[in-house]
Amino acid sequence: MAVELRRSRKVKERADALREACEQLGRQLPPGDSAERIVADKVEQIAQQMGISTRTVLDRYVTDESMRVLANALVRQMQDLTEVMDQAPPVPVSVNDGLLVLAAFGMCSAVALRNLDHSESADPLIVVRDAADSTVHIAVTLAQADDDPVDVGGFQLAIGRKVITTVLEQLRAGRWECTCGSAHRADGGCALQDRLALDLASLGGWATHGDS
């Protein structure tokens, strides 16, 4: 039902209105079908609260004006999140570990591209975009370093952690197909996941096991 709702014409129309409203406020929603997801979730929430059909909600309650109100709330949330992520304390990363982290972003992109049609719990296009942004940031930081560890912190550190954590969680939960090409262990793990976990640790992060 959720997938069908996201693909409906009226949800797509309201999603376009939501994107436009966010852009007018100086923010862009993530790529892919993120706007459709937000609208569909809102429609289902209202339908459940009022005990009516999603079709009725779309016809009567989800208007361009309601999308502008939703955009204001989303932009405030994005601003708050950015402020929190900007405060992520720096982590010292050696040049060698930093290069391996760059390779990890490449692996994460490859996994995400393999799973473009599996966006129910995480959007692969967001992973690809964030991996590219993190690669640029950390590569520039490493290029400016000598042989000493470099400090990686703030928003880009938080995004880099999120990229690797998202891919690990999707693989461990069996929601995404792995690109390692080998049989996985009994616990669902593999060499690729082990490598990503090590690279995540280099960024001062960690991943939980299981469906989280």
Residue 2: the pLDDT is 60
Say yes or no to pLDDT of 160 above 80. yes
| Rounded Cα–Cα distance for residues 147 and 127 (Å) | 30
Mean pLDDT comparison of 4-13, 16-25, 116-125, highest-scoring range? 16-25
Identity of the amino acid at 22? C
Residue 45: the pLDDT is 87
Which tens digits make up the pLDDT trace of 177-193? 999 999 989 888 999 99
Per DSSP, the three-state class of 211 is coil
Structure tokens at 178: 């792995």
Please, what is the average pLDDT of the chain?
87
Say yes or no to pLDDT of 6 above 60. yes
Residue 211: the pLDDT is 40
| Rounded Cα–Cα distance for residues 91 and 180 (Å) | 29
| Rounded Cα–Cα distance for residues 82 and 101 (Å) | 22
Q: CA-CA-CA-CA torsion for 109, 110, 116, 122, nearest 10 degrees?
A: -50
Question: pLDDT confidence of 85, banded at 50, 70, 90?
Answer: low
Say yes or no to pLDDT of 104 above 90. yes
The structure's pTM equals 0.66
- In this prediction, residues 59-71 reach a mean pLDDT of 90
Which tens digits make up the pLDDT trace of 12-53? 999 999 999 999 999 888 777 788 888 988 899 889 889 999
Say yes or no to pLDDT of 97 above 80. yes
In this structure, how many other beta carbons lie within 10 angstroms of the beta carbon of residue 33? 20
Strand 150-152 and strand 91-93: the pairing is antiparallel
Contact 101/93 with Cβ under 8 angstroms?
Answer: yes
Pick the closest to residue 42 from 78, 20, 74 (CA basis).
Answer: 74
The β-bridge partners of 91 are 152
Of 77 and 66, more confident: 66
Residue 187: the pLDDT is 85
